[in-house]
Structure 1
């Protein structure tokens, strides 16, 4: 008979064991080996059955075992040491506390639709969530006062299995928050705290707020499974990235608007400092800006435009997608229906809300509301997640700043990093600890002190190679276990599974490939020439073996076909001992997969990989990268520690031909360079050149790929400037800035560059000039109702290409001379030094100027000479 409801009956911990509860409820255990070892000692077999989840462990361990442990002095000493260590970690001064506090925000609120903290809290689907989880962990390690905000999905993301035919199947387990490392946020009287957002027709979407403790960082997760909600509203947070457009819109309204209200509730109940900076990780949480505008136009007393300026000053927006198709976009009417007097933000003109997200640029869709566009318009500071992705993002969103070259679009880059204590295998950590000390190793992994990492160079070759063999052997054991489970789920009997005992070989070059399965990541590029791949797998002297994992989105049948193609190839009895597909890729699998591989393969379509952090995690364990120059690998690749897969770039090439060429390049690398280097051994059996590449990977890449480095960059380049800007914008100043912008926008149509000339004595003759010469520029401009203090007139110069486009530009401000002439025009003058050889050109432009503007393109306004005004497009120099 099936139960209609399930719950866990937990034993009461004896008094001496009460600290176990605090240790289990703080997710620091997920990256602290000593705490995990302590829980494993509670009940080793149960620990394995619980998947390394302390909360489940404490719910399942017998009362007799707890009584026994309460009298075990050795265990109690370990428990006291772990509890004291956690207390010191939570209370001690860390990097953030040693910095000048006047420059730093009192707190930062970090919003993301998913968070990958640990497999015990399955609230993630892929790289975006893992990055968000690593961001919070690194913030905790550095002492950054951050509050994470997300949604609690009662079904999480789907679990993946395979049919007998290799077709992906999805399962959605029900998650009980009471069985997760979470606690309800409660009011002073003990009742659960709630936040709510307004829906059309007088309905309300209510939400509980669950709290996870990520070290020092609270993570607030909103849960719509509230009894007072109607059935449709209860299901809003049912699953990650599920449902239709309105379902997704409600999720994102709850995340953004409800998330700000949850932060306010949390700070009220706990005394936590209110955030000065709000960071939205992708556009999913973009509505948080609208809620903050509502706060400021209500009790704050500001007009909409003044509130918008204040919100922009304190908001950071990170974009992760390199293609428009990856951005959430909603029908204009759907958004309009949920705002205004019959929904959220009553009293605010719905058109003002819609204007923030509409694609008003030439290539945009006029009736779609774009969440990334709203994110950029509501944030004064924005970034991509690698240097290349920043460039791609500036080009993709250039339409929001018409007239400006892509390189001037105000989107910077902060390259992602990964949380080393989470992803570095314990064996790797112990080897480092033996070399430089446990404390120094922990600091190197958390903070990224390159001086600590350089000590890796002194680890003997034999120790490095022995470690790699141990990790590979552990992976082989893990793969065989998972492979056996997968085949049983596919319906295979015991008599069919004997071959699994010989699947993979701990002495064979092992390549890993694991990620989500959209088409651009090209899961099956390796299958392009199956005969050649078979030759590589079965080479008599230098074989390779490949471990593959990945999930296709449930609605992506083309992705599922890619999975099936790979599985069918891996099922072939001729090669199934050399290539395997492991279903249900997640954090638990990844933590075994990254350390055990010798090479990490990544072959996306360039430049569609925004960053691609899986290769970073592999690198931290001494795994070498073999990748297309995309994302972070484009930025940091060196031949000393990996290989670059050549790409057939260019829009003219047929996609099938492109895949054929790049697959051929991949096979060539594996056959001629990767495998020979792995199998080229010295007299002691050590591949010295390979080990040196492993060492260079750790010494050179190690400090760069850390989430600690990433979070420090966010603090210094984005959070601290945002906090300073936020503090400057008092209500009076914000109102003044908004009025100034409105005045400039109204007057801008009358702003023109009327005449440009160069002084006769230094003008170039015959279109050429000598290096070191100086042009005396005189520019007449019309400013309409604006004053010289409202603008800056600039000369932009640099080398020019064949189409007279200025590259490598330098800008110099020209100075006004005297008052307006009889026609109201003003004269600006200044020198232009010809300081570089080759084809050289210049132009003149007018920009709005105000002390509180953070970027010349802030308003998206620009005036340049017309063709009849411009004196010359380029100057040839000798």
Structure 2
């Protein structure tokens, strides 16, 4: 029989054990080993059965065991110590509180469609969510006053299993928020706080707000499964990345617009400081800017002035290197959901649509682009690695016509990973023995090269024994998961004896785990199956590979890749050397990263925005074997692993490219990776391999930390955004909006009329200076409205400037009889070789973050005076 109603019966903890509830409800336990060990001591078998989830554990512990623990003095001392430690962590001064900069923001709101904080809160699908979770945890460790905002998906992302023939199957388990480490946000009278959005045809979308405590950081999750909603509205937050276009649009409206309303309610009820900076993690949350414009409009601020005020305090992070990865909606669908009779009725729908319009060459005028809106609503934007920043500047350059891609105002902050989450306890204990537990904890949270240098003092034998221990744990984990997978596929116990021989703790182990879009090339390793089989079965230098990954439920191409890999790994010849583990998630990852000797990544370059899985492996002493893409392109050194050569030239077809890169991969494994692993010294230790492990830990480790990443966000983006927000009061925003309107109207009349130089073009000497004199027409603008520059640098065969550097020119006197102005200034010839310059005019205002901000530039025409350029050798 099935129950007609389900609810959760919570245990009543004895008074001495009440602190357990607070410890369970704060997700710091997910990265704090002592707290996890305390919960394990409550009921070791129950801890495992509860999936290492304290909330589930406390809901299942027998009352007799609780009574016993309430009288156990040793346990109560441990409980008191853990409770005091959490209190110190939550209330003490952290890095942020020690900064002397008064311009740091009082609070930052961080919006993301998914958050991977812990497997006990399955609200993530892949790297974007894990990155967001690590961002919150690192912000908590550093004391950064962040508020996270997302959606609560009642089915989360799907659970993956395999059919007998290896086809991916999806299941969507129903999640009960009352059984998760969440609390419902309630008003002063105890009623649940409701966020409301107006929908077309008089409908409404209501949502509750659940709060997760991620250390010091509150994470607000909006949930549409409430009684006030109709069936379709209740299902808005049913699952992550599911449904059609309107379903996704409603999710993103609830995330952005509803998220701002949830933040306002939370701050009003709790006294939390109002955010000065709003960070949009990918375009899904971009509508938050529209809600903030609406708030200002209701105070009498014009749309244009409100736009300037909102932009000043907004940061936008893009994670995708391809246009196909961006959410784009039909303009008519968006128009139906805004304006009179729908949401944001006080705003002009046409202005809203303009914000997401693809105005660049090749753009689709019938589509509304969420990333384009995100960029237009943010004064500061970034990619997630140096290479991805360059790719993003090229991809979005059309929004800034007339500027080279290098000047597009999108910077980069390379992602990092939260070390306390991803470092195996065994690695942490080894470090603790060298520098002490507190120093080791600080090294993982805050970085600092000096703390990590202690790795150099660890003996080779200790490092090698650690690596073997982690590999052995992975072998045990793989066999357990593989057996469960085969049982799900319909195999009986009598068929599965071979699993006891799967993998070998003495064999070189390679890991590959990620989402399965085509560009990540899950099956590149299968291009030459006989060659791969030889590597797996080599008589003296064998290799074993552990693979995991999920294809999107609607991606049959990705599912075929999974099936292809599974069928190969099912072959009795090799199934003891290569395995595919279904249902990749945080729980599996925390065993997989530490246990692999080598982490493999072979995407199509440059389509991996960052790719943080290799960072997590590196923090556990794993070496990387990767295409030079994402973070690996930035930080690769031979001491940290190997770079797979690429064949990504414009004339190389896809089949030949994959063949060449697969061949390069096989060669690296056979000729360089495996020999180094198996080249053992007298004590049985591969000394050169251990040296690479040591270098990876000591030198790469501090770079890949989420703490480093969040500090960069604070210093390079959050603090400047807060300063800009404070400077952009109502008067300043109004003045800037009026100034921009005047500049845009006058810009067609702005021209570079004549350029003179004090000596003829040709060969000049290094270090000499040219005096430039430029005559310009400004129309209705004044010299203080513009920045006239000489831009100089090396030139190529087509006279295009490279490594260009601007040199400001100053006005010389008033306008002539024709109303033209003269600007003068020196140009220093500071490099040898082919050298050239041009002149340009940009809008200039003290509140503009960059000269390219308006996307306006005036350049010389072919008939402009003498200043065609200067060549110097």
TM-score, with length taken from structure 2:
0.99
Cα displacement (A) at 1:318: 0.2
Range 5-14 or range 412-421, more displaced: 5-14
* Alpha-carbon distance between aligned partners in 2 of 1:821 and 1:827, rounded to the nearest angstrom: 8
Q: Deviations over 1:162-184 (max 9, x none)?
A: 00000000000000000000000
Structure 1 unpaired stretches of 5+: none
Q: Deviations over 1:674-701 (max 9, x none)?
A: 0000000000000000000000000111
Secondary structure in 1 matching 2:512: strand
Q: Quote the residue 1:128 is aligned against.
A: 128
Cα displacement (A) at 1:872: 5.2
Q: Quote the residue 1:776 is aligned against.
A: 771
| 1:18 correspondence with 2:18 | yes
Contact kept, 8 Å, 2:19 with 2:83, in 1: the verdict is yes
Secondary structure in 2 matching 1:585: coil
* Alpha-carbon distance between aligned partners in 2 of 1:873 and 1:756, rounded to the nearest angstrom: 8
Cα displacement (A) at 1:874: 4.3
| 1:398 correspondence with 2:393 | no
Cα displacement (A) at 1:101: 5.0
Q: Quote the residue 1:39 is aligned against.
A: 39
Contact kept, 8 Å, 1:340 with 1:346, in 2: the verdict is yes
Q: Quote the residue 1:542 is aligned against.
A: 541
| 1:169 correspondence with 2:166 | no
* Alpha-carbon distance between aligned partners in 2 of 1:152 and 1:351, rounded to the nearest angstrom: 31
Q: Quote the residue 2:327 is aligned against.
A: 328
Q: Quote the residue 1:480 is aligned against.
A: 479
Q: Deviations over 1:762-812 (max 9, x none)?
A: 323xx3222233222111111000000000110001100111100011111
Q: Quote the residue 2:813 is aligned against.
A: 818
Q: Quote the residue 2:360 is aligned against.
A: 361
Contact kept, 8 Å, 1:843 with 1:870, in 2: the verdict is no
Contact kept, 8 Å, 1:804 with 1:873, in 2: the verdict is no
| 1:668 correspondence with 2:671 | no
Contact kept, 8 Å, 2:294 with 2:346, in 1: the verdict is no
| 1:439 correspondence with 2:421 | no
Q: Quote the residue 1:829 is aligned against.
A: 824
* Alpha-carbon distance between aligned partners in 1 of 2:156 and 2:281, rounded to the nearest angstrom: 19
* Alpha-carbon distance between aligned partners in 1 of 2:317 and 2:767, rounded to the nearest angstrom: 43
Contact kept, 8 Å, 1:800 with 1:874, in 2: the verdict is no
| Aligned ranges 1:421-436 → 2 under 5 Å | 421-436=420-435
* Alpha-carbon distance between aligned partners in 1 of 2:474 and 2:784, rounded to the nearest angstrom: 66
Cα displacement (A) at 1:835: 2.0
Contact kept, 8 Å, 1:763 with 1:775, in 2: the verdict is no
Cα displacement (A) at 1:650: 1.3
TM-score, with length taken from structure 1:
0.99
Contact kept, 8 Å, 1:536 with 1:543, in 2: the verdict is yes
* Alpha-carbon distance between aligned partners in 1 of 2:82 and 2:204, rounded to the nearest angstrom: 44
* Alpha-carbon distance between aligned partners in 2 of 1:305 and 1:622, rounded to the nearest angstrom: 52
* Alpha-carbon distance between aligned partners in 1 of 2:828 and 2:274, rounded to the nearest angstrom: 50
From the superposition, tell whether residues 439 and 870 of structure 1 become closer, same or farther in structure 2 (CA, over 3 Å).
Answer: farther
Structure 2 unpaired stretches of 5+: none
* Alpha-carbon distance between aligned partners in 2 of 1:13 and 1:831, rounded to the nearest angstrom: 78
Contact kept, 8 Å, 2:756 with 2:867, in 1: the verdict is no
Contact kept, 8 Å, 1:162 with 1:169, in 2: the verdict is yes
Q: Quote the residue 1:687 is aligned against.
A: 686
| Aligned ranges 1:570-719 → 2 under 5 Å | 570-719=569-718
| Aligned ranges 1:262-411 → 2 under 5 Å | 262-299=262-299, 301-411=300-410
From the superposition, tell whether residues 501 and 803 of structure 1 become closer, same or farther in structure 2 (CA, over 3 Å).
Answer: same
Q: Deviations over 1:825-874 (max 9, x none)?
A: 11111222222111111100000011111101010000000122163544
Secondary structure in 2 matching 1:858: coil
Secondary structure in 2 matching 1:877: coil
Number of aligned pairs?
873
From the superposition, tell whether residues 371 and 870 of structure 1 become closer, same or farther in structure 2 (CA, over 3 Å).
Answer: farther
Contact kept, 8 Å, 1:112 with 1:281, in 2: the verdict is yes
* Alpha-carbon distance between aligned partners in 2 of 1:497 and 1:516, rounded to the nearest angstrom: 28
Q: Quote the residue 1:192 is aligned against.
A: 192
* Alpha-carbon distance between aligned partners in 2 of 1:456 and 1:496, rounded to the nearest angstrom: 45
* Alpha-carbon distance between aligned partners in 1 of 2:866 and 2:587, rounded to the nearest angstrom: 65
Secondary structure in 2 matching 1:201: helix
Q: Quote the residue 2:556 is aligned against.
A: 557
Cα displacement (A) at 1:449: 1.3
Secondary structure in 2 matching 1:485: helix
* Alpha-carbon distance between aligned partners in 2 of 1:667 and 1:826, rounded to the nearest angstrom: 65
* Alpha-carbon distance between aligned partners in 1 of 2:828 and 2:159, rounded to the nearest angstrom: 64
Range 749-758 or range 666-675, more displaced: 749-758
Q: Quote the residue 2:183 is aligned against.
A: 183
Q: Quote the residue 1:151 is aligned against.
A: 151
Cα displacement (A) at 1:877: 1.9
Secondary structure in 2 matching 1:876: coil
* Alpha-carbon distance between aligned partners in 1 of 2:493 and 2:723, rounded to the nearest angstrom: 66
Q: Deviations over 1:148-195 (max 9, x none)?
A: 000000000000000000000000000000000000000111111111
Q: Deviations over 1:337-393 (max 9, x none)?
A: 111112111121100000100001112111110000000000000000000000000
Q: Quote the residue 2:847 is aligned against.
A: 852
Secondary structure in 2 matching 1:701: helix
Secondary structure in 1 matching 2:871: strand
Cα displacement (A) at 1:330: 0.2
* Alpha-carbon distance between aligned partners in 1 of 2:391 and 2:406, rounded to the nearest angstrom: 10
* Alpha-carbon distance between aligned partners in 2 of 1:646 and 1:213, rounded to the nearest angstrom: 44
Secondary structure in 1 matching 2:851: coil
